[in-house]
C-alpha cells in the first residue's frame, strides 16, 4: 500500500536510494540534478527539513513497503502560494500513483497548510506529467524555458469553487519565462 508521508530525517537513506536508482529516468523529462547534488545530499536533506520546519516548504515522500517510490513537494511558499513538484519512480508509473498523490497534496495544501493556490511547471515532452496536472485541475498559464527545453507553466486555485480567471488561463504561446533546477526538490 502506497502511503504519503511528510519528509522526515529518517527518510534520508531511502530518498537518496530513490534518487540514484531513478536518476536516468528523471533526466529524460527534467533537468538532471548533477553530481554535486548527490555528493551533498546529507547536508541538503538536513537543510530542507530545517526549511520545512520554518514553513518555507511542505515536503512529502510516497512510501510503498518501506521503499520511497516518489516525492511530492510544495516549495517556495510565498503569500499563500507554493510551487508543486513531484517525481515518481519508473517502476511505479502508469498506475495512477502520481495523480492520486498530487490530489492528496492539493487537499492538504488547502485544508492543512492553508494555501490559496499552487503553481507547477513541466516540459512539453512530458505528456504524463501534463495529464497529472490536468486531472488535478491545473490550468495552463504560459510557456517557460526549463534549462533549454520548452515547458508549460500551470496554476491551480485552492479556494473551493474558484476557477482561474480568464486572464490567468492563456495559451502557452502568450507567456514565457525561465526555470532552472532550483525549484526541484
| Residue 12 CB contacts under 8 Å (≥ 6 apart), including other chains | 41, 42, 45
How many Cα atoms within 13 Å fall on the side-chain side of residue 124?
11
Give pLDDT tens digits for 16-61: 999 888 888 887 777 668 778 778 898 999 999 999 999 999 999 9
Which H or E run includes 58? strand 58-64
Q: How high is the mean pLDDT of the chain?
A: 85
> Given this model, what pLDDT does residue 32 score?
66
Give the C-alpha separation, 100 to 128, whole Å.
Answer: 13
Task: Report residue 97 as a C-alpha cell.
Answer: 500513483
In this predicted structure, which of 78-82, 113-117, 122-126, 133-137 has the lowest mean pLDDT? 122-126
Amino acid at each position: 500500500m502506497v502511503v504519503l508521508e511528510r519528509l522526515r530525517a529518517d527518510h534520508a537513506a531511502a530518498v537518496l536510494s530513490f534518487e540514484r536508482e531513478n536518476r536516468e529516468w528523471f533526466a529524460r523529462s527534467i533537468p538532471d540534478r548533477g553530481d554535486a547534488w548527490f555528493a551533498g545530499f546529507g547536508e541538503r536533506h538536513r537543510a530542507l527539513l530545517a526549511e520545512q520546519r520554518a514553513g518555507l516548504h511542505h515536503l512529502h515522500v510516497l512510501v510503498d513497503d518501506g521503499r520511497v517510490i516518489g516525492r511530492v513537494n510544495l516549495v517556495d511558499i510565498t503569500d499563500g502560494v507554493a510551487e508543486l513538484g513531484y517525481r515518481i519512480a519508473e517502476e511505479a508509473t502508469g498506475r495512477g500513483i502520481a495523480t492520486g498523490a498530487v490530489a492528496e497534496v492539493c487537499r492538504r495544501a488547502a485544508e492543512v497548510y492553508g494555501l490559496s493556490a499552487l503553481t507547477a511547471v513541466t516540459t512539453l515532452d512530458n505528456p504524463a506529467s501534463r495529464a497529472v496536472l490536468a486531472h488535478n485541475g491545473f490550468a495552463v498559464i504560459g510557456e517557460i524555458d526549463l534549462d533549454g527545453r520548452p515547458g508549460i507553466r500551470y496554476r491551480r486555485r485552492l479556494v473551493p469553487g474558484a476557477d482561474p480567471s480568464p486572464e490567468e488561463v492563456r495559451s502557452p504561446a502568450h507567456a514565457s519565462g525561465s526555470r532552472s533546477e532550483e525549484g526541484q526538490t
